[in-house]
Structure 1
Amino acid sequence: MKKITVFTTTYNRAYLLPILYESLLKQSNKNFIWLIIDDGSTDNTREIVKDWMTAGKIEIQYHYKENGGMHTGHNEAYRLINTEYNVCIDSDDFMPKNAIEIILNSVKNLEENFAGLVGLDAAKDGEIIGTRIPDKLHAVKLNELYSIHQVRGDKKLVYRTEIVRKYPEYPEYPNERFVPLDYLCLLIDQDYDLKPVNEVLCIVEYQDDGSTTNILKQYRRHPNGFAFSRISRIKHGKTFKEQFKNAVHLVSSAIFSKKVSWLFKSDKTLLVIAAIPFGCLLNVYVRLKTK
């Protein structure tokens, strides 16, 4: 049985997937499965993946579902994965040729209090996205990496599958296609540590149609998903600044969703009330930026 699943959620990215496929073919360690969750693509994704499966150069699993957004693709992936570890590589990203080898070497004898690994993302030119992880850290929680240790930029997460399945799935809201993925990470943070790996596990290239590039539009189109995420960030925030910032965002998302009830779902109601004027200003700012 393979040790790790590389899973990719994709929607109409047939023109990008070959880059990721080629990088997986070049892996120095082939002890992995590539699981592709097709989130309702209308291009030729199914056909090119079937060709790769027929070629049989690496083990590929393909699953088609109705379009529901990236978070629903993650829900589906976690239901299907049957390897000990998993890592998400987006359809517009790829892996350096030694990434699987680094991961499998790093998880050897991993202690039970570790949910997995946190490694680095890099750009095509090799430059690290954001900052490296402080060398002094031998165990860390993802949220603390940013809020306390002031690390910047996206990082790559490798999780134990059995641990991921202990936590609730991402919620799904009618007519919305986005829930921030850090919700699950934040829940895992409460119970487990991550082992830092200061090596590049993923090469990223942000696309014009990607969620990172269009975050303000996503913010406006999917207010319930963002409001849900802010509730957990307020609850588990390590600093007052972090909690208040997310309270401001909660107010703005509540306005977009036209659901005042979101303001009373946090366990820090007074903080949310204090954030209302700032949340209103943020809401106006987002509206102006997304006309």
Structure 2
Amino acid sequence: MIELTIFTPTYNRAYILPKLFDSLLAQSNKNFEWLIVDDGSSDNTKEIIQNFQSKANFKITSIYQQNQGKHVAINTALQNINTSYFVTVDSDDYLKNNAISIIYEKLATIKDSKTIIGLASPIEMINNEGNTIFSNKILKSEIISSQIEMAYKYNVIAEFSLILKTSVAKQYPYPIFPGEKFIVESVISNRMNNNFKLLHITSSIIIGEYRIDGLTAQIKKILANNPKGASLAYYEKMNNSNIPFTNRKSFAKNYWDYESLNNKNFLLKLKKINSNRLKIYILFYFINRIIKKTLS
């Protein structure tokens, strides 16, 4: 019985998809299916996928939707995934040769847990020359924790591949704002953190390539073009009491900047900050900014 879906959202990435496909072909364990959600590509993605389907010795399903953004593609995928677990593998990433075997080996250790909803594997990042930017060496042993705990308790700041229980992920669809095509994925993982944990493993199962046409390289511009989603992400982080206050101060300033692009009412913006201490900080922050501007 197939228990794992490899899900790939893609948009005009026909030129790079074959590398991911080849990494799936190379897996010794073929107990998976591949779901591709094409987010309105205008290149030859459709033909490339059809070619994959003619060659693959595993199931490939392709869904086309009008261009709406990766988060909507994830929502679409979750409406169509029927396996117990899934992992998102971006179109510019690819799997290590033993990835599927590692996933099943580690899932067996948590299958009976009601609070551990999946695995987190550190992504091994490489640059355009193939040199490693980040590897799994920062994680010395397996840790059961939320991603917030990993960042602020264990001081592990890394990008992880998440292998999640589909039934749980379906309960957390991404919010959609008309006219916006992006929201950071941490919005959902942070919401899950309130109730669930992940087994963070030391093995990297995915290699990610940093590309100048990728989301990471353009994140500031993307957030500015999608201010409602950006504001929501920082709003939830600044009001999360599990995050240290020092970090929440930074999130509050980011929230204010993006919220201000759609909401000019000072009091309404201030009201969304739950902590009185954080409200006082923001007030003093703006007073100091006004004073500095006046004196300059």
Same fold by TM-score greater than 0.5: yes
Q: TM-score, normalised by structure 1?
A: 0.89
1:121 paired to 2:123: yes
Distance across 1 between alignment mates of 2:54 and 2:40 = 22
> What CA distance in whole angstroms lies between the structure 2 residues aligned with 1:36 and 1:281?
50
Unaligned runs of at least 5 residues, structure 1:
283-291
1:68 equivalent to 2:68? Answer yes
Contact 1:120 1:132 in 2 (8 A): no
Paired position in structure 1 for 2:251: 246
Deviations 1:100-148 (A, max 9, x none): 1101100004122201011111134574626645445531111111122
Deviates more, 1:134-143 or 1:43-52: 134-143
Q: Distance in 2 between matches of 1:171 and 1:269?
A: 27
Letter aligned with residue 23 of structure 1 = S
**Residue matched to 2:214:** 210
Q: Are 1:271 and 2:273 an aligned pair?
A: no
Q: Secondary structure at the match of 1:209?
A: coil
Separation in 2 of the partners of 1:63 and 1:114?
30
Report what 1:153 is aligned to.
158
Deviation at 1:204, TM superposition (A): 0.5
Contact 1:68 1:177 in 2 (8 A): yes
Whether 2:234 is the aligned partner of 1:227: answer no
Question: Residue 23 of structure 2 corresponds to which residue in structure 1?
Answer: 23
How far did 1:23 drift?
0.5
Paired residue for 1:286? none
For 1:254, the aligned partner's letter is E
SS at the partner of 2:253?
Answer: helix
| Distance in structure 1 (CA, Å) of the matches to 2:270 and 2:67 | 29
Call closer, same or farther: CA 1:4–1:17 in 2, change over 3 Å. Answer: same
Shift of 1:13: 0.4
Displacement after TM superposition at 1:186 (Å): 0.8
Matched residue, 1:108: 108
- Tell me the distance in 1 between the aligned counterparts of 2:286 and 2:203: 38
Determine the structure 2 residue equivalent to 1:11. 11
Structure with bigger gyration radius: 2
Q: Is residue 142 from structure 1 mapped to residue 147 from structure 2 by the alignment?
A: yes
Superposed CA RMSD in Å reads: 2.3
- Give the drift of 1:220: 1.1
| Per-residue CA distance 1:31-77 (angstroms, 9 max, x = gap) | 11111010011111011101211334221110001111111111111
* Match among 174, 190, 193 for residue 189 of structure 1: 193
Q: How far apart in 2 are the matches of 1:279 and 1:82?
A: 50
Structure 1 residues 99-108 or 47-56, which shifts more? 47-56
Give CA-to-partner distance per residue, 1:133-178, whole Å, 9 cap, x none.
54455311111111221112211111111111222x2111122111
Alpha-carbon distance between aligned partners in 1 of 2:70 and 2:42, rounded to the nearest angstrom:
16
Gapped runs of 5+ residues in structure 2? 290-296
* Counterpart-to-counterpart distance in 1, 2:139 and 2:286: 34
- By how many angstroms is 1:276 displaced? 5.7
**What is the percentage of aligned positions where both structures have the same residue?**
31
SS at 1:123 equivalent = strand
Aligned counterpart, 2:38:
38
Which digits, 9 at most, give the CA deviation of each residue in 1:165-196, with x for residues without a partner? 222x2111122111111111111111111112
1:275 partner amino acid = I
What is the rounded CA distance, in whole Å, between the counterparts of 1:59 and 1:136 in structure 2?
34
| 1:83 equivalenced with 2:83 (yes/no) | yes
Greater shift, 204-213 or 249-258, is seen at: 249-258
Local SS of the residue matching 1:175: coil
Q: Report how many aligned residue pairs link the two structures.
A: 281
Q: Summarize the Cα distance change of 1:102–1:281 in structure 2 as closer, same or farther, 3 Å threshold.
A: farther
- Measure the CA separation in 2 of the matches of 1:116 and 1:166: 15
Distance 1:6 1:278, change over 3 A: farther
On the 8 A contact 1:71/1:179 being kept in 2, the answer is yes
Letter in 1 for 2:119: L
1:58 corresponds to: 58
TM-score under structure 2 normalisation? 0.87
8 Å CA contact retained: 1:140, 1:195: yes
Q: Rate the CA distance shift 1:259–1:157 in 2: closer, same or farther, 3 A.
A: farther
Q: Distance in 2 between matches of 1:279 and 1:248?
A: 10
Provide, for residues 200-229 of structure 1, a one-character-per-residue CA deviation record: whole Å limited to 9, x for no partner: 111011211111000110121111111111
Kept after mapping to 1: 8 A contact 2:182/2:222: yes
Task: Provide closer, same or farther for how the CA distance between residues 280 and 41 of structure 1 changes in structure 2, counting only shifts above 3 A.
Answer: farther
